[in-house]
Structure 1
């Protein structure tokens, strides 16, 4: 017990960005591991069709939640992070969010009969409940993020995700199907909000029109940009549901979730850096902004590139072993979406930095072009080549977005890439790929354990090589481990 207490005490002494990134990464890994295991269970027990209905619910919720938030959530994080009138900005956002949510719920009730998928699955009422709960939980989370408490926010998000799965598993076992999956999600949001509220130090005060106006100025562009991002993340699900069926939705979304392992590092850093970059931009400390971007990109690609190569070599067997024969047919989708995750590293960081540096209009312009291209390609490609077409449409438009965002951001800051680090990542990944390829050539992947052994060999090989070749990664990893004080003896031969 004393050892654990000492470790937590040491973690608190680490640089804030490193500390919050570690916490975020920990929860990313924890939830992804639990999410993978639970999805395997859902895939074998409930099947692709039930999962498809649940993913359609998430897609609709993403759209409705975006509308009821109106972009004010991101705007209030920005304004609170700047340190001027944080309570007033929070109060204005809370009231606006509540008004938008109530209005949105009333509109949905009027047009209830048009949501056939939700009504057939008996989850329309759950949608309304989740929107109302989010109207309370969202402002709490935004307030915590705006104050720079990203470790708290990420921890509560992790608790939400894990508790959701812990409820969904017995619900599926008891036969509640889609309702059980949706109910678990609602319960997770409520539990996280309760815990997060204990660390919430803002309060409601009288606000003025200038606070609302300031939120509107920023949220207008952020709302439009978020709408575009939502198209990338959810429109593919809706298009598959429209042109094909819920079973194909389930297959596509399970594979997309599987590729999320490549986004561990970028998700953790992106959530942590947003308020920091916003603060640096406000205080004109451009040096810190320009220094943080290339490191964030390099650390994100440390995982994304080897995962892509590993997916090419082992993806077909992993899908078959983990989810079943129905999902193994999505091998080509897996490869394309893993490539999407690599491109996402650039696209998300470039647009995030544009927003955090108070240029959301530029981010919207970039996203708007991609949105139009994404919709057009989905409509053309899905009838021709099915879910492979969705993946290709996503890759093409995400690449376009990344290039446009790079051009836009370069007008406000110098963008550099750490060429040596990227070279080290590529060399380490190629060597790993050769070793795993030889393993597969001589060892038949006849069961899940032999396949997992191949993954373990590849992971250990890559980890050793990247630490050996990249002195920056080596030094920072060693520094963090020594500061945490977990008793790990750093190998002298590295």
Structure 2
């Protein structure tokens, strides 16, 4: 597997997905009032938290075992049968709790929540099978298709008067289309399940389950608590800021998803030296966009939210700054957390997740009541900083984690240089339209790129990556030209 090509394919697809999601949210923010759009975000929050017990870590275990090359066909069938148990329990619980769920969200959507959970699990099953087959790049189009179907179907249904339910139906349709595509593209057959494969999957999934809690709770727990203590309008404004900040970590997320099956294979082959060479080469590209995004947000958070989503959303300007700063640590966690799982230490990733969740819960409730949505952002940020630092510490027990401090220092200096340029632009250009906002962003990108390319080591790394992308060879280790 060519890691560079797969990462770029996934990053491009993730960027496209984020652009579609971002544009869709901005569009629907104009078509629906904040309170009604907040209902959809609460639906997604419940969906995101119920994914955890519905999967119980089995999908991650399946990807891990298939990537090791151990009886993939039997693993696939066994995983599907294992997943049916927790998924059935969750669906039944939703149907039993329909009155409470409908009352909490403000719409009668509990039945569609159950359908969406089944659809999401099937969609992700196809993604994980292809990733386990070291075909991560091929999942890019599948991920993108899900977002496209959601946007198109959601828009049509909203225009037809379905309101927020139109967005929910579009979401479910996207899951269905992408699941069928993923199943068609897989090469792993369904073979007879065995108790041995079941034991292997469960032994990994019990820890992967806890690690997954961190990711999903991190994404949705604050939204759920805002919906509990505040209003659906607050949910909308907070989620708008979250969606903007999420764009900054698309690169690191794509890299983490790409390297997981390859690191897993190297770990199975006892090639830890190759993993040690890979980690520092992934940390830098993971941070190269997040750091300047934070500084740009310091200057234009109000303009971004107001011009893209509407004036009602500018109240979340501080939330956006806090979340964007937190994304610097999330970028590091994406690499180190997934690497821990890939080298078969999901228990340590789980330990970090449990600590972070406890901090998040302990801080979110009082801070939301004291400081509103800004308090939620602070609580979430602190908890994930702790999670990232713990994952770095645990990973360093098994491999030599080298951080490219010199290159990262240049990235910071380049970001500060870009900020100075933008301050000059801000003093001369009034950012009061989307066109002018786009112009300012383009100026910042050009200025930052110029400062980064002024560093010979960084310029050499970018040129090396470009050569890898042009190469058709399945180069698996971008740090070793002999592979």
TM exceeding 0.5: yes
Q: What per-residue deviation string (whole Å, max 9, x for no partner) do you get for residues 176-224 of structure 1?
A: 2221111111111111112222211122222221111111110001111
Structure 2 unmatched runs, 5+: 473-483
User: Cα offset for 1:443?
Assistant: 2.0
* Count of residue pairs brought into register by the alignment: 470
Instruction: State how 1:178-189 maps to structure 2 within 5 Å.
Output: 178-189=164-175
Instruction: Tell me how far apart the structure 1 counterparts of residues 291 and 105 of structure 2 sit (CA, whole Å).
Output: 42
Alignment equivalent of 2:26, drawn from 22, 25, 40: 40
Q: What per-residue deviation string (whole Å, max 9, x for no partner) do you get for residues 426-477 of structure 1?
A: 1211111100111101222232222221111011111222223222333124
- CA distance, structure 1, for counterparts of residue 382 and residue 15 of structure 2: 28
Which runs of no fewer than 5 residues in structure 1 stay unpaired?
1-14, 485-494
Distance in 2, Cα, partners of 1:453 & 1:363: 42
TM-score (norm 2): 0.94
1:205 aligns with one of 191, 194, 197: 191
Task: Name the stretch that deviates more: 330-339 or 226-235.
Answer: 226-235
User: Partner of 1:448 in structure 2?
Assistant: 434
- Counterpart residue number, 1:382: 368
Whole-angstrom distance in 2 between the partners of 1:63 and 1:446: 38
The answer to whether the aligner puts 1:408 opposite 2:394 as a matched pair is: yes
CA contact (8 A) 1:156 1:196 kept: yes
SS at match of 2:185: coil
Residue 167 of structure 1 is matched in structure 2 by 153
Aligned match for 2:461, one of 473, 477, 483: 473
Structure-2 separation of matches of 1:119 and 1:374: 22
Alignment of 1:66-465 (within 5 A): 66-117=52-103, 120-465=106-451
CA RMSD of the aligned region, Å? 1.6
TM-score with structure 1 setting the length:
0.92
Q: Is the 8 A contact 2:20 2:147 kept in 1?
A: no
Q: Confirm or deny: 8 A CA contact 1:88 1:207 kept in the other structure.
A: yes
66-75 or 401-410, which deviates more = 401-410
Write the deviation string for residues 301-356 of structure 1: whole angstroms up to 9, x where unpaired: 11000111111111111111111111111110000000111110112222111111
Q: Which moved more, 1:276-285 or 1:165-174?
A: 165-174
1:369-420: per-residue Cα shift (whole Å, max 9, x none)? Answer: 1111100100110010000000000111111112221211111111111122
Deviates more, 1:192-201 or 1:294-303: 192-201
1:55 to 2:41 alignment:
yes
Cα distance between partner residues in 2 of 1:246 and 1:120? 9
Range 288-297 or range 181-190, more displaced = 288-297
CA–CA distance in structure 2, aligned partners of residues 19 and 200 of structure 1: 20
- State the SS of the aligned residue for 2:70: coil
